[in-house]
Amino acid sequence: MAEMTMNNACLTEKARAAPAPSYPNGNPNLPYNPPGVRNTDSAIPLHRNTPVQHDYRSDGPAAGTLGFRWTYGSNVAAKNRDPRVQVVQYNEDTFVLRQNVCVHWEAPFTYLLFGNKGALLIDTGATTDPRHYPLRETVDAIITRWAKARNRRNVPLTIALTSGEDIAQNQGLQQFADRPDTTIVPKPLELMKAFYRLGSWPSGTGKIDLGDRIVEVIPTPGTHKDGVSFYDPYCDLLFTGDFLYPGKINISNDKDFIVSLQRIKAFIVGNPVKWILGGHIEMMFVPGRFYPRFATYKPYERVLEITPTLVDEVLKYAQLVQGKAMMQIRGDFVLYNGVSPDQRNADWPGDLPVIDPPRPF
């Protein structure tokens, strides 16, 4: 026993003496992130004779910003003149795209991530017609600009869905059907599981290797039987589609939903998550208030990002509604279990303030 204690002490001393690896891209205070450069060292300088190889290891979440306001539609959708696809650059290698709410009332978000060997598009929005929703044109333009800055000729694209069942996130997929250098993760559940090598579904995880930026695939059925979430360890972002987002979460299988929440909670314990980014925003900036379906004017939206601590609250109230046909209102989300998404009659929680949002007119 004494020998064991001595060995443990020696190991502890060795661990203390060993220098920790330094991955400076995630430290905004180091000179890799000077003002005017989009948060990483790989753009210094922008013009090189050989393709840029970026180091995606990071001491912490790579710097990025979500400090902006989304376009919020119009009272008369036909008169709206905002971009059909709003593009925000979170950092040099991460883009957030949103479909105009006047093109489709769900205004879904899609995410474009780059690595040294390719790009990943997570979800594809709610509209097929590129004349109304030019997603492929927008993604191609971003890739072309990114490739020019990195001195790359080809950037293979992988397209993955948080759910092949969710029509608000998969309709734009058709725009990429004939695109070269493109891999589309198949929609049918069995084929999707095989693609990610998820033989023990829904346990286990899969991976998408973008070249030194490896995105983890986590099964999260519950709102859809084929639901998955994606974790990016470079930015510490978790992309969850309509499984977890600031809006009206429609539970299709409450048992699966709870198990998936427990899986995400355990994952967050072992992996740093800065933000959870879902597929929509439906909540207003006042607690418990939300926009009804088909609304095309949403000037008082809550922010997109969710803190990881909110998972505990969602799990708590998911367990409360399990086995019951009911609607549960919370400050940052609403749970619908076995009831219509149009249902409005629910008891107001006693711990939430009653604040009426401003009138938009």
Classify residue 128: in a domain, yes or no.
yes
Low-confidence residues of the chain: pLDDT under 70 = 1-48, 360-361
Classify residue 56: in a domain, yes or no.
no
Classify residue 353: in a domain, yes or no.
no
Element housing 260 (H / E): helix 254-270
In whole angstroms, give the CA distance from residue 344 to residue 329: 10
| Of 308, 337, 297, 340, nearest in space to 80 by CA | 297
Q: Residue 287 burial by CB count (10 A; 0-12/13-18/19+): exposed, middle or buried?
A: middle
In whole angstroms, give the CA distance from residue 330 to residue 351: 9
Residue type, 270: G
- In degrees rounded to 5, what are phi and psi of residue 97? -120, 140
Classify residue 196: in a domain, yes or no.
yes
Residue-range definition of the domain harbouring residue 91:
41-46+69-337
Classify residue 294: in a domain, yes or no.
yes
In whole angstroms, give the CA distance from residue 129 to residue 243: 26
In the chain, the number of structural domains is 1
pLDDT of residue 345: 79
CATH code where residue 136 lies: 3.60.15.10
Classify residue 51: in a domain, yes or no.
no
In the chain, the DSSP E strands lie at 85-91, 94-99, 109-114, 119-122, 157-160, 182-184, 206-209, 214-219, 228-232, 237-241, 248-251, 275-278, 326-329, 334-337
Classify residue 197: in a domain, yes or no.
yes
pLDDT 10s digits, 147-167: 988 889 899 999 999 999 999
Classify residue 343: in a domain, yes or no.
no
